[in-house]
Amino acid sequence: MSAPSLKDLTAQGLVYAPGVWDGLTARLADQAGFSALCASGFAISAALGLPDAELYTMSENLAAVRTITSASDLPVVADIDTGYGNAVNAGRTAEAFVKAGVQGMFMEDQVSPKSCPICVGEPVDLISVPQATGKIRAVRDSIPDDVLLIARTDATGDDAIRRAQDYVEAGADMIMPVTKTFTTVEEWERCHDEVGVPLMATLTASTWTEREFTPEILEQIGVRLALLPTQVLMAATGAAQTALRRLASGEPAADVSADALAHHDFVDMIGFADIEARQRKYLPERGE
């Protein structure tokens, strides 16, 4: 029996999707009991050793997403940044990500190359509303109706609400304000009321939305998809830094390993038993 689609899940209620960036994190999130995954652009960029400033290409992002969708049957929402060009480019990008197996995607209205708004001090530059709505129409025309199109806006205040209304008219199923779009719960609630479609929120680590957006608040403000885009990345990076520093300082490897996941637990998690069973089923005995 296949997992429910992302569109069905969000129609039923609030869905949390952790940020993953490869097959291992996708498998771990699946095993942890989540019902959906987010192919986090921030994390995919970090996995390439790069900041989230649209330095990677569409094909590099797509390759990571293919790995994620191959490792888990859970529905995936993908970050397609600015669509990697104009409206025609954005339509082609969307088609490619649907073929890679995603069930939702979010695209922003920043000038390309984009910048992560919580990593830069100045307001980010946005494209015009006609450019943004043209991209949204092109993506909507390029993907099936059952794939969620989420329009992100990095505008603020009234401008964000006006843009969101235009984006919905152009074909967006959901609106994604970023953590800097609004500064209060009441503004988020107003956005939902005036725009008339569900919202997607990013509960990015160390932001006010992570601290204040409880499940009850998310329901109140009309959020149906809540991303946890950087928590796993920060946890994994912190653990890796600690282990590497201990090893580099000359601490015995056995002591470092004693504080980490046990080898046999990792072997079980990654699926060696299944592979061995397949080998016994299909491969000849040694010497045959």
Q: What is the mean pLDDT of residues 96-109?
A: 98
Inform me whether the pLDDT recorded for 8 exceeds 70. Answer: yes
Say if 82 falls within a structural domain.
yes
Six-digit token string for 254: 């056995």
Q: What is the mean pLDDT of residues 86-107?
A: 98
Inform me whether the pLDDT recorded for 129 exceeds 80. Answer: yes
Query: Backbone phi, then psi, for 283, in 5-degree steps?
Result: -95, 145
Q: What is the mean pLDDT of residues 189-200?
A: 98
pTM of the model: 0.94
Can you name the residues that pair with 245 across neighbouring β-strands? none
Six-digit token string for 265: 């637990």
Query: Backbone phi, then psi, for 205, in 5-degree steps?
Result: -55, 135
Distance CA 263, CA 186 (A): 48
Q: What is the mean pLDDT of residues 196-210?
A: 97
Inform me whether the pLDDT recorded for 160 exceeds 90. Answer: yes
Say if 181 falls within a structural domain.
yes
Say how many domains are in the chain. 1
- CATH number of the structural domain spanning residue 31: 3.20.20.60
pLDDT computed for residue 113 by the predictor? 85
Inform me whether the pLDDT recorded for 244 exceeds 80. Answer: yes
pLDDT computed for residue 150 by the predictor? 98
pLDDT computed for residue 253 by the predictor? 98
Q: Give the residue, 113 or 50, on which the prediction is more confident.
A: 50
Say if 241 falls within a structural domain.
no
pLDDT computed for residue 124 by the predictor? 86
**Are 42 and 19 a contacting pair, CB within 8 Å?**
yes
Say if 259 falls within a structural domain.
no
Domain ranges, residue 85: 6-236
pLDDT computed for residue 115 by the predictor? 76
Buried b or exposed e, range 41-54, using 16+ CB within 10 angstroms: bbbbbbbeeeebeb
Residue with tokens 């002591």: 255
N- to C-terminal Cα separation, the chain:
38
SS3 of the chain: the string is: CCCCCHHHHHHHCCEEEEEECCHHHHHHHHHHCCCCEEECHHHHHHHCCCCCCCCCCHHHHHHHHHHHHHHCCCCEEEECCCCCCCHHHHHHHHHHHHHCCCCEEEECCECCCCCCCCCCCCCCCECCHHHHHHHHHHHHHHCCCCCEEEEEECCCHHHHHHHHHHHHHHCCCEEEECCCCCCCHHHHHHHHHHHCCCEEEECCCCCHHHHHCCHHHHHHCCEEEEEECCHHHHHHHHHHHHHHHHHHCCCCHHHHHHCCCCHHHHHHHHCHHHHHHHHHHHCCCCCC
Say if 247 falls within a structural domain.
no
**Are 172 and 136 a contacting pair, CB within 8 Å?**
yes
Say if 252 falls within a structural domain.
no
Distance CA 219, CA 197 (A): 13
Say if 248 falls within a structural domain.
no
pLDDT in tens, 50-64: 999 889 999 999 999
pLDDT computed for residue 198 by the predictor? 98
Say if 163 falls within a structural domain.
yes
Q: What is the mean pLDDT of residues 112-132?
A: 83
